[in-house]
Amino acid sequence: MGNHDLGVLGRIDLEAFAGEAGDAARWTKTVLDDESAAFLESLSPSGAADGVTLAHGSPRDPVWEYVLTAAAAAAALAGTEDPLILVGHSHVALAIASADGTLTGGLAPGGIEVDLAAAQHLLNPGSVGQPRDGDPRAAWLVIDTESRRATFCRTDYPIEQTQAEMREQGLPSALAERLAQGA
């Protein structure tokens, strides 16, 4: 569960959201059906499973912290002994490793494979609907727990159609326009 989900559900005041993000959350509240709301209610901003720490933001602040700097990545990695941390929030695909206190990695374009066996890793798959790393394609991540490998993927989707539908629904044009830039 991310910050927008929490806002839509009324757990975070929508005044905490900047301009268009607040407008989008208010719109979502008007179209969210009961089944979808119940699904969102079943989620949590953080969790853990089989040696994996999960957080929308970071282990330190599961809702709001952006992991975009070396300092934030180091703090996230230090916050757990799990060998893998998965985060989101920034919408930027990242692959960062920590071995013997040294951080390596950074942006993770589609096609990058990561060997998860050699170090502690922090991965952000990016975003299916609003990537913010300059690549407008939908970003996603495949994790193979048996081979201990992760693969970053990108998929084209009909951005122009999505933009038209967003405008038709009255969503802020700035949100629709940014889809083409992945910004």
Report yes or no on whether pTM surpasses 0.85.
Answer: yes
Could you give the dihedral angle defined by the CA atoms of residues 37, 38, 44 and 50, in that order, rounded to the nearest 10 degrees?
-130
Q: How many CB atoms sit inside 10 A of residue 91's CB? A: 19
- Check residue 79 and give its pLDDT: 87
Q: What is the pLDDT along the chain (183 residues), one digit of tens a residue?
A: 999 999 999 999 988 887 888 999 999 999 999 999 999 999 999 999 989 999 999 999 999 999 999 999 999 999 899 999 999 999 999 999 999 889 999 999 999 999 999 899 999 999 988 888 999 999 999 999 899 999 999 999 999 999 999 999 999 999 999 998 888
- Check residue 70 and give its pLDDT: 92
CA distance linking residue 84 with residue 97, whole number of Å = 9
Q: How many CB atoms sit inside 10 A of residue 125's CB? A: 23
Looking at CATH, the fold of the domain delimited by 45-181 is given as Purple Acid Phosphatase; chain A, domain 2 (3.60.21)
- Check residue 91 and give its pLDDT: 92
Listed by start position, the domains of the chain span: 1-43, 45-181
Which residue's structure tokens are 């998860």?
A: 116
- Check residue 108 and give its pLDDT: 94
CA distance linking residue 152 with residue 143, whole number of Å = 9
- Check residue 105 and give its pLDDT: 94
The pair of structure tokens assigned to 81 is 């002994």
Task: Determine what percent of the chain falls in helix, strand and coil, rounding each to the nearest 5.
Answer: 30, 25, 45
